[in-house]
Amino acid sequence: MFSGIGVPELVIVLIIILLLFGAKKVPDMARALGRSSKEFKQGLSEGGPDQDSKPAAEAKPEPPAEGKTQ
């Protein structure tokens, strides 16, 4: 996927990020990114395939009650 990116390119990108955001903000941003990634993965595992997976067409309608007229 990233076969064209080597160590020198990564170092240059990290230096540019450090210059743009400052030494204090970079660890805070990385920490926030890690937390949000963890919450996202946790939400995916909690959701499961059973929730909201049946379309309305597959839902079985109730049969009309016998003896009642509308």
The mean pLDDT of 38-54, rounded to a whole number, is: 78
Q: How far apart are the first and last CA of the chain?
A: 64
C-alpha span between 22 and 15 (Å, rounded) = 10
C-alpha span between 29 and 21 (Å, rounded) = 9
Q: Where are the chain's structural domains?
A: 1-42
Average pLDDT, the chain: 80
Residue 1, CA distances (Å) to 4, 17, 40 in order = 8, 22, 23
C-alpha span between 16 and 59 (Å, rounded) = 54
What pLDDT sits at residue 68? 59
Question: Can you state the angle between helices 25-47 and 7-21, rounded to 10 degrees?
Answer: 110
Band of residue 23 on the pLDDT scale cut at 50, 70, 90:
confident
The mean pLDDT of 4-17, rounded to a whole number, is: 91
